[in-house]
Amino acid sequence: MEATEKMQTTYNRIQSFINSATSKLLNNEKSLYYIKKEYWEDDTLETHIKNEIFTYSSNLVELHRKHPILHTITRYHDLKNVLWESTFIEELSPDEKKKYIATENLYLDFQRFEDDNTIYDELIPYFSSIVSSIFLINYISFLKDQIPTKEPSTPTPLPTETEIKTDTEVETKYTFEANFSPLQVEILTNCINEARILTKEITNETLNDIFSCTIKEPFKARNNRLLVYFFSTLDDHSLITRNWQSVIDKNNLFLSSSKGNPLKQSDLSSANSEIKITPPIGSEIIDKYIKEVKKH
């Protein structure tokens, strides 16, 4: 029993390093992708995504061809403890198992691994390939989610008599479901202006119009990620609806900082994922003001 626990502890320590390394690789690549997304045209970006998927998939196939045991890793890549909980250990040769067990006191250094990702392969069989496999399959999955979905072009059928709206019917209205006091609105207005979230300063009345989705023209963001951080933080504190991304999209409230196009839900979702990794400069201003809002 003690030998099994000792073995599991050894594998868990290796796994922890692998998880950190793959997470760092994934976050770095996502950050680079979001920079491209900010400045590239949509058609160029879509072509790039498909080329990247082809390249990374080819790299993954090549790894599997070289080390068939990696099929086990990629099959259970979503497990946080894939080395121990999958069938990976069973598929190691006796000599390879001995090498893993012998790493009990081996110090794994991130800097050395970044300088040469094969540095531990002799002591820990397939080490660099395991990290690469988990990274590749997760990044390929991420890229697939970034391909814009295009709805098929189909003729719009003529409405039947029962489908024709009468003058008394009201269309569904998407709102932030915000209920701020005048003082809270003033605090949030100061927040937007001090953090320079938009290209123009706004008044309390303007912010009320934004929250009620009654503005006449969309406002241009100075920084998309900072705008998203503002609404995401309000959401985190349950001050607005969880569907705020859809509200912004449906009501055409904001324009992109770079292209000046209306910010869509897909743009907001991507930026929201990015700020969870690296908060934008100016986020500390937003945090300060929203804490103040919570007090009132």
* DSSP codes joined into one string, 172-221: ----------HHHHHHHHHHHHHHT-BSS---HHHHHHHHTT--SSPEEB
- pLDDT tens by residue, 1-12: 466 778 888 898
What residue spans define the domains of the chain?
A: 2-146, 182-295
- pLDDT tens by residue, 181-218: 999 999 999 999 999 999 999 999 999 999 999 999 99
Q: 79 in the Ramachandran plot: left (φ > 0), alpha (ψ -120 to 50) or beta?
A: beta
Given a cut of 80, is residue 83 above it in pLDDT? Answer: yes
**Residue 52 or residue 158, greater confidence:** 52
In this prediction, residue 77 carries a pLDDT of 65
- pLDDT tens by residue, 130-168: 999 999 998 998 898 888 766 555 555 554 444 444 444
44 class by beta-carbon count within 10 Å (0-12 exposed, 13-18 middle, 19+ buried): exposed
